[in-house]
Amino acid sequence: MNAKEKMTGELNPELNEEQVRMFLAKYPEFIEENHGLLLNLAIGHSSGAATSLLEKQNSLLRQKIAEQTEERKKLVSAANENWSYLSKINDLTQELIGVDSLSHFIEKISNRMSGEFGADKIVLEFVRKKEETKIYSNSGVSIKKFEPYFDHLRPFSGPVSSELDGLYEGSEVVIKSHVIVPMNTPEWRGVILLGSKDVDRYRGDLETEFLSLLRDILVLTVAPMLRNEGFEG
């Protein structure tokens, strides 16, 4: 028995939408056996014109494919960006191995951050917790300005907020976005900032996992240097 014969036996003379919907769901082969319907059925359009069901299906399919293609592009782009961050952090880690002094560390960090990490301005602050003795500073800004970031120790990436106005005074370029990496140990705390003149360079959606990894590597690298130079304990 084909779909047409089934329909004759199952549908009432007076059809309603629900009956038609249930029938087509139960017997999808009906459309295959009556494919001419695809060309004859018309669907209203916002423009006032009518389009066939087949054309509508093709249009929806093309739209779905376009959406999936765009989503795949975003996933690939995100994966490439993540790999790039990991590669940069790995290269930095390799370069910091064997660095035996704070001055050497500052030099390496400054070169690497302004190069591969694209920073136009780098701020470094290290303070011994005991009596708030400054260990190193290249900005003259009080580290207390970053207290909110020490509360949760989560790195920040995004536009420069009004609370940090004046942080980049004297910079050759206007800093519009930055990364803030707070560091904290029982003996000392510090912060590294990477500033960019590009407002989109350090976006708010920059993965904090990578920045947290960068923070942990910097702490592990700096701690023994400060200990050797008498700034811990």
Instruction: Please report the pLDDT score of residue 109 as a whole number.
Output: 86
pLDDT in tens, the chain (233 residues): 554 555 555 555 577 778 877 887 888 777 667 666 655 655 555 555 555 556 767 777 888 888 888 888 888 877 777 787 788 888 888 888 878 888 888 888 888 888 877 888 888 888 888 777 888 888 877 888 888 888 888 888 888 887 776 777 777 788 888 889 999 888 888 998 888 898 888 876 666 678 888 888 888 888 888 777 766 55
Clarify whether residues 141 and 41 are in a common domain: no
- The Cα–Cα gap between 206 and 177 comes to 12
Instruction: Please report the pLDDT score of residue 53 as a whole number.
Output: 59
Is there a domain that residue 89 lies in? no
Instruction: Please report the pLDDT score of residue 49 as a whole number.
Output: 52
Collapsing DSSP states into helix, strand and coil, what is residue 163?
helix
- Checking phi first, is residue 98 left (phi over 0); if not, alpha (psi -120 to 50) or beta? left
Instruction: Please report the pLDDT score of residue 233 as a whole number.
Output: 53
Name residue 119's amino acid. Answer: A
Last residue of a domain, one of 11, 40, 63: 63
Helix axes 208-228, 53-96, angle to 10 degrees: 0
- 181 touches 92 (CB < 8 A): no
- The Cα–Cα gap between 87 and 214 comes to 12
Instruction: Please report the pLDDT score of residue 51 as a whole number.
Output: 55
Instruction: Please report the pLDDT score of residue 162 as a whole number.
Output: 74
- Helices assigned H by DSSP within the chain: 3-10, 17-26, 29-33, 36-40, 53-96, 102-115, 147-152, 208-228
Domain span at 9: 3-63
- The Cα–Cα gap between 71 and 65 comes to 10
Tell me the whole-structure pTM to 2 decimals.
0.64
**Token pair of 62, please?**
């093309």
Domain of residue 180, CATH code? 3.30.450.40
Is there a domain that residue 79 lies in? no
Clarify whether residues 193 and 105 are in a common domain: yes
- 122 touches 113 (CB < 8 A): yes
- Total structural domains in the chain? 2
Is there a domain that residue 144 lies in? yes
Query: How many Å separate Cα 113 from the centre of its chain?
Result: 19
Instruction: Please report the pLDDT score of residue 9 as a whole number.
Output: 53
Name residue 51's amino acid. Answer: T
